[in-house]
Amino acid sequence: MKVIQRIFCTLLVLYALQSCQYNDICTAEVPTTPKLRIEFHDQQRPGLLKAAESFNVRALGDTAYYFSAPINDTTAAIPLRTDKKETAYELIFHQGDSLETKRDTLIFTYNTDEIFISRACGFKSIFTDFDVTYTPTSKGWIKNIQIPDTTKRITDDTKAALFIYF
C-alpha cells in the first residue's frame, strides 16, 4: 500500500503543478513599439547638441500636452500613431517660462509594419519610409530638420531618428 500512496502523492503534486504558469508579463526591457527620438542641435555649430529649454509637444487637435511638465534636454522621445500613416505635432519652445513661447508644426509620415513579439506582449509596430514635412513660420523656432537614417526606418528609440536644428 505504501508504494501506491507514494505514487498517488506524486500524481497529485504533478497535477497541482499544472496550474502553475510561467510569469507571462511583458517586461520593460522587451523592445516594443518604438517612439520617435529627437536630438536637438545647435544651428550655428551643427555637430553640437543643444538643450531645448522648456520643450513640450502636443498632437494637433489634442488638448493634452505629451510631457506633464516642460523638459530641458538635448533629446526627447515622442510616440507616433500606429493606426494612421501620419502624426502631426506642435513643438513648443519656452513653454511657460520667462521667454516668449514659440511653436512649430511638424507632420510625420510613414508606413507601419506589425511584428509579433511574444505571447505576453503581442504585436508591435515599426515605422518605414519615415518622412517629415515642415513649413517654417515667423512664430517658429526650428531652423532646420534632418533625418539621419538613410534607410528611413524606425525600429527602436535608442538612437535619434530626427535632428532638429535651432
State the residues that interact with other proteins by CB under 8 A.
3-4, 7-8, 10-11, 14-15, 17-18, 21-22, 24, 26, 28, 32-33, 35, 59, 64, 66, 79, 81-83, 114-125
* 24 vs 100 by CB, closer to other proteins: 24
Alpha carbon distance 66, 23 (integer Å): 32
Smallest separation (angstroms) from other proteins to the CB of 4: 6
- Residue 137 grid cell: 513660420
* 18 vs 44 by CB, closer to other proteins: 18
Q: Which of 78, 113, 81, 82 is nearest to 92 (CA)?
A: 78
Smallest separation (angstroms) from other proteins to the CB of 18: 5
* 13 vs 135 by CB, closer to other proteins: 13
Smallest separation (angstroms) from other proteins to the CB of 6: 10
Alpha carbon distance 39, 142 (integer Å): 12
Q: Which of 76, 79, 81 is nearest to 93 (CA)?
A: 76
Per DSSP bridges, beta strands 122-134 and 144-146 are unpaired
* 81 vs 103 by CB, closer to other proteins: 81
